[in-house]
Structure 1
Amino acid sequence: MNTSPDHPQASTSPSTASEEQSTAPLHRRIIPSQQILAGEKEIWIQHGDAVYRLCETKSGKLILQK
């Protein structure tokens, strides 16, 4: 096997998804609630076969209900 800088040595053990996630840099996609609600006090979100209700309370908190 060629181990020159152009051809690095392959790892002898395959990496698992959890190993890759733990070493990958953390990237969070942040979406403002105003963008999601778009002026409404509640919206309905379909996730797979389930439908969830996301609503903003009078005090400005968000509640997600199934």
Structure 2
Amino acid sequence: MNGLKPAFLAKQLGHSLQVFFQVYAKWISSSDDRAEVAKLDDAIRQKTQLKPKLSARSDADQADS
């Protein structure tokens, strides 16, 4: 499975990248792989922190549409 894209694998399994790595990280064995996972974790963390949160009013407005 070396060389496969984590995002593709996660999608095939029905997982987010975060869940994919939380569940399957135990099979990552080299120090290089762990460094790459750390980079992905940082990217996921940054993306989720920047994601705008919808208010209850926004949700209700969308339901009316």
TM-score when normalising by structure 2: 0.22
TM-score when normalising by structure 1: 0.22
